[in-house]
Amino acid sequence: MAFSLSERASGVLLHPTSLPGAYGCGDLGLEAHEFAAWLRGAGQRWWQMLPVGPIGYGNSPYSAHSAFAGSSLLISLDRLAEEGLLPRSALADAPRFPEGRADYPGARAWRERCLKIAFQTFKNRRADQTAFEVFSVQNQFWLEDFALYAAIKRSRRDLSWTEWEPELRARDAEALDRAGHALREEIEQQRFEQFVFARHWRSLKSRCQELGIGLIGDVPIFVAHDSADVWAHRELFFLDAQGQPTVIAGVPPDYFSATGQRWGNPLYRWRELEQSGYRFWLQRISQMLERFDAVRLDHFIGFQRYWEIPADEPTALRGRWVPGPGAKLFEALRKAHGPLPLIAEDLGAVTPEVTALRDAFNLPGIKLLQFAFGTDPQGPSFLPYNYCRNSVAFTGTHDNDTTRGWFEKLGETERRAALDYLGSEGRAIHWEMIRCVWASVANLALAPAQDLLGLGSEGRMNLPGTASGNWEWRLAPGQLGSEPQERLRDLTRIYGRRAR
């Protein structure tokens, strides 16, 4: 089934780790399939997720250890049992994990134990070996580096690659051969986990296709410093002789922070990327379009210009704007893929040049209703009467407070402006905001699952500029029930967004 961002539709933002489940965080198992069916019952067309790579610093999906690999935390242990790779008895003594929050350390430790058992079984399953080898060959361009990186990292107690022995850090050929030989069992374990992730992903995507649900993925413009990508392709980034970044990514002071945001990602050598025909980006987008039906490009403004911060600066205040790759990159992507099913996350310091780049490739931008009533100088552009059809409208995103939490913190002036615009008394502000977004002319309307439930700040997914306590919110079993489903279905019908 084909999905188009130009059709009038709607959907829900919910990361798979936020699903309920017995093993510390949500995954690609039964609960994911049930949520897809819930979306269908609510008349929705799209399921938006955050990046699904192996999480790194701060448990952030935006700091993944690979731009290509899938997170082993999302592998369904119950499905492994159904496949005969994991005995049911191995799951019988699962630890008691907290409900309502993701326990990443606990989930990782438990799942690693189970995945090792599954791998030992898998090695003796001849029926799976051909598919495994085909997968390994098809993904060799990233899988071999990632498996070796992950194996070395695990054997070094999770140290960053810049803290490994100098010869491994520098990818000396003989040192890599020795590591590959010494760690061959762990390397195969990592390849196996990626194979299983891909199989469970295909199962979920197939079910979503049957239900008429399209998947929206997320591509961070920058990659994590401690990643297989930077380790394996040092020539593509501004690094010193020891592999440390000389300049890093971030944004100047904005809505979220008075001192800006110092993300810490190494910056690309775009000239080197251009000389390769943007091979890294073509491979990255190609894989994402195999996993997803559409892709959100995080920090789209960075493709036109980005904020370069000296690595030794403690904040993002003392940076400078540097030109990005601009149209050259998107021309290469369009030549490889044709019309691009990409969403431009164009929030922040938007200039006419950013808008021109977005529009030249017919990419929908993002409209965020919460921003319409605050102190953002671009606030009027986020009022629905200023939306255009080729846009994606949100109540809020993963970086915002929930709608209820946001509303409760508003000053009196902003609160009155919001209530006057909505024609509301604020008793169900989350549904009033959803209604406003759904009624807009934007082709696509999206709301986080937390807003469907009217959760306060306890449901916030991420607070930019903080390093801990983020990405942990989860649904409790049965929490997203029939009442919000029926209400969302009604709004979707009223405003002409119902799935075909």
Bridge partners of residue 446, in order along the sequence: 11, 394
How much is the pLDDT for 299? 95
Instruction: Say if CB 273 and CB 482 are below 8 A apart.
Output: no
On the question of pLDDT at 472 being above 70, the answer is: yes
Active-site annotation holder among 128, 145, 346, 399: 399
Average predicted confidence (pLDDT) for the chain: 95
d(CA 21, CA 19): 7
d(CA 197, CA 143): 13
d(CA 430, CA 408): 11
Q: Which of 291, 275, 116, 326 is nearest to 205 (CA)?
A: 291
Torsion, Cα of 393, 395, 397, 403 (10° steps) = 180
- Among 257-261, 290-294, 338-342, the least confident range: 257-261
Q: Which of 290, 129, 284, 288 is nearest to 195 (CA)?
A: 129
On the question of pLDDT at 22 being above 70, the answer is: yes
User: Which domains are delineated in the chain?
Assistant: 9-71+201-494 (3.20.20.80)
On the question of pLDDT at 1 being above 80, the answer is: no
Helix-helix angle 482-494:429-439, to 10 degrees: 30
* pLDDT tens for each residue of 35-51: 999 999 999 999 999 99
On the question of pLDDT at 112 being above 80, the answer is: yes
The two three-digit tokens of residue 378, written as one number: 């671009």
On the question of pLDDT at 24 being above 70, the answer is: yes
The structure's pTM equals 0.97
- Among 251-260, 282-291, 315-324, 417-426, the least confident range: 251-260
* Residue 59: band (very low, low, confident or very high) from pLDDT cuts 50, 70, 90: very high
Q: Which of 339, 158, 183, 324 is nearest to 249 (CA)?
A: 324
Question: Strands 247-251 and 305-310: what pairing?
Answer: antiparallel
d(CA 102, CA 118): 23
How much is the pLDDT for 126? 81
Q: 185 catalytic, yes or no?
A: no
Average pLDDT in the 198-202 region?
Answer: 98
Q: 312 catalytic, yes or no?
A: no
The two three-digit tokens of residue 417, written as one number: 């402006």
Instruction: Say if CB 396 and CB 370 are below 8 A apart.
Output: yes
Q: Which of 361, 349, 343 is nearest to 397 (CA)?
A: 343
* pLDDT tens for each residue of 338-348: 999 999 999 98
How much is the pLDDT for 465? 78
On the question of pLDDT at 311 being above 70, the answer is: yes
How much is the pLDDT for 385? 96
Q: 399 catalytic, yes or no?
A: yes
How much is the pLDDT for 438? 98
On the question of pLDDT at 429 being above 70, the answer is: yes
How much is the pLDDT for 295? 98
d(CA 144, CA 228): 10
Active-site annotation holder among 145, 345, 401, 472: 345
On the question of pLDDT at 255 being above 80, the answer is: no
* Residue 256: band (very low, low, confident or very high) from pLDDT cuts 50, 70, 90: low
d(CA 438, CA 213): 18
Instruction: Say if CB 459 and CB 13 are below 8 A apart.
Output: no
Give the length of the chain.
500
* pLDDT tens for each residue of 343-372: 999 998 899 999 999 999 999 999 999 999
Quote the percentage of the chain above a pLDDT of 90. 91
Instruction: Say if CB 393 and CB 446 are below 8 A apart.
Output: yes
HEC readout, the chain: CCCCCCCCEEEEECCHHHCCCCCCCCCCCHHHHHHHHHHHHCCCCEEECCCCCCCCHHHCHHHCCCCCCCCHHHCCHHHHHHCCCCCHHHHCCCCCCCCCECCHHHHHHHHHHHHHHHHHHHCCCHHHHHHHHHHHHHCHHHHHHHHHHHHHHHHCCCCCHHHCCHHHHCCCHHHHHHHHHHCHHHHHHHHHHHHHHHHHHHHHHHHHHHHCCEEEEEECCCCCCCCHHHHHCHHHECECCCCCECEEEEECCCCCCCCCEEEEEECECHHHHHHCCCHHHHHHHHHHHHHCCEEEECCCHHHHEEEEEECCCCCCCCCEEEECCCHHHHHHHHHHHCCCCEEECCCCCCCHHHHHHHHHCCCCEEEEHHHHHCCCCCHHHHCHHHCCCCEEEECCCCCCCCHHHHHHHCCHHHHHHHHHHHCCCCCCHHHHHHHHHHHCCCCEEEEEHHHHCCCCHHHCCCCCCCCCCCCCECCCCCCCCHHHHHHHHHHHHHCCCCCC
How much is the pLDDT for 378? 82
Active-site annotation holder among 27, 298, 346, 401: 298
Q: Which of 247, 223, 243 is nearest to 235 (CA)?
A: 243
* pLDDT tens for each residue of 374-391: 777 788 899 999 999 999
How much is the pLDDT for 180? 97
Greater model confidence, 2 or 81:
81
On the question of pLDDT at 500 being above 70, the answer is: no
Quote the percentage of the chain above a pLDDT of 70. 99
Other C-beta atoms within 10 Å of 278: how many? 21
Helix-helix angle 352-360:327-337, to 10 degrees: 10
